[in-house]
Amino acid sequence: MENWSNPSRKPRERGRAYDPYAHAEELGLAVIFRPLRVSHERWLPSAHTIVIQESLRSVHRRNALAHGIAHCVLGHEDDRPKHEVQADRFAASNLIDLDEFRAIARWAPDLEHLVAELGVTKRLARAFVAQHEDLAQHADLA
């Protein structure tokens, strides 16, 4: 599990600069691509592996991997609803930088443009907005 309290650790890049593949490698996680029937990713704690739906486009693969990494870092052993919400919030905090969000939201004409520019799904954008009260004007995401 990643040590988030280590003050000597270099802060992780956020937003579009965040690289979940490098993060997974730092954590010693195996990332494999296979057909999945009911989800975009599966965290297999006993194998220290994240399985990503092989048919996903690259932006969705990135989001799914960030979500799987969140399950690992948060120590989740199952996918109960509470853990899914926590993983979405954690993934969103890595994939979305608050300053980038604000800058893009100033000119993006609608939700589709906003999430496309951020490189995230609507679900993760909603999880991000839910954590930031000052983004309440983006009610279409909440």
Query: pLDDT tens digits for the chain (142 residues)?
Result: 444 444 445 678 999 999 999 999 999 999 999 999 999 999 999 999 999 999 999 999 999 999 999 999 999 999 899 999 999 999 999 999 999 999 999 999 888 999 999 999 999 999 999 898 888 666 565 4
Neighbour tally for 111: CB within 10 Å: 15
pLDDT number for residue 110 = 85
Q: Which residue range forms the structural domain that includes residue 89?
A: 20-141
Write the CATH number for 109.
Answer: 3.30.2010
pLDDT at 53: 97
Q: How many domains does the chain have?
A: 1
pTM over 0.85: yes
Of the chain, the end-to-end C-alpha distance in Å amounts to: 30
Q: What pLDDT score was predicted for residue 1?
A: 43
Q: Is residue 3 in a domain?
A: no
The reply to whether 45 falls in a domain is yes
> Residue 4 has what pLDDT?
43
